[in-house]
Homo-oligomer: A and B are copies of this chain.
Amino acid sequence: MSRQRWRTVKEIRIADVAQLAGVSTATVSRVLANPDQVRPKTHALVMEAVRRSGYTPNSTARNLRTRRTMTVLVVAPRLTNPVFAQVLRGVDDELTQNGYGIIVGNLDNRTEREARYVDLALSRQVDGVLLMNGRIPESGKRSMGESGLPMVAMCSAIPGGRVPNVTVQDRAASRKAVEYLAQLGHRKFGYISGVPGTFIEMERFTGFLEGIAAAGFGQEDFVRWEGPFMFSTGVSAAQSFLRLRERPTGIFAACDESAIGFIKTVTTAGVRVPDDVSVIGFDGIEFADYIEPTLTTFQQPLHEIGRAGARTLLRMIQGKMDPAEWDIQLPLRLLERGTTGPAPRPGG
């Protein structure tokens, strides 16, 4: 069994089909790519030969000649985060429908892993790149920015107008989150961030600050905990929270995973949600529906973000980008559910 040859089935080439149909390879190629350039009779003849032989064009050869690969690289910060998995689904739907294949690049939250995908994408001549990591990937050798490749950012915008961005109204929603908590009577707040320095984090934090100001509060009225979009960030935020003498009662987490990690940790420590502390998340991942109580959060149209990003990229690839659609911002929906409630009576 070892040292066995696997690719045993003989490949059928376009020349074989041509011979079978009694035409030239050019005609076969035309039948498959431009059916209207060929006589119906010939068309039928060739199609029959294709069917009989079970011919599938070798895209490797086609790619070389046409200088297109019908392949797109999708870079995700972390595939096990359901946000990105969900966006990827939308991307996949749109792209496979149009005959494109997807190469996934999973960074696992480590920026240094970008490099391998830059080289991969450039050497494989992908037709375009979808970025969910909030920056244009770099490798020591070559920058993806200089390559002239069509790129679109999703979820986390890349500011500077270099690429179209498909995002949600991060700032407005974050602001609304604080206002919502303030309306419920909360007077001291907590903010669980994303990765400091990323644009998406700046947007959400700015919105949070706006909300704080709009509700008449200031710098001294909130605590901020930092970390990437992961459960563990919520866990460490909660550990810090539990050590505080004067604990915030209204928490806004910039992602659902953090919110859930926070809730689990404080609940285990005997703090009740929402009686003692209210938590509001961001994302609307499916799992948020299954914790008890159900998470109050902003629902992103994740699947639609993926589709919109893919569609935008396809337009860029086809060279017919509509400038009016350079940036797309999709709406969010606040799901008012179980983890938020009236602020506890002070000293209650």
Contact = CB atoms under 8 A, between A and B. Distances in A.
A149 interface: yes
Interface string A301-327: 000000000000000110111110010
A288 to B, nearest CB: 10
Contact of A286 (B80, B122, B268): B80
A273 B45 CA distance: 67
Interface stretch (A83-91, A186-194, A202-210, A244-252): A83-91
Nearest to A6: B150
B106 A104 contact: no
A9 B108 CA distance: 30
Contacts of A108: 89
A320 B3 contact: yes
A148 interface: yes
Interface stretch (A19-27, A168-176, A289-297): A289-297
A116 B141 contact: no
B56 A141 contact: yes
A264 B292 contact: yes
A89 B79 contact: yes
Contacts of A6: 148-150, 316-317, 319
Interface residues of A, number: 71
A2 B323 contact: yes
A142 B89 contact: no
A8 B64 contact: no
B58 A61 contact: no
Given A54-B141, A80-B86, 7 more contacts: A2-B320, A56-B123, A71-B103, A89-B108, A101-B124, A260-B287, A268-B292
Interface of A: 1-9, 54, 56-61, 63-64, 67, 69, 71, 79-80, 82, 85-86, 88-89, 92, 96, 101-104, 106, 108, 116, 119-120, 122-125, 141-142, 146-150, 231, 260-261, 263-264, 267-268, 286-287, 289-292, 316-317, 319-323, 326
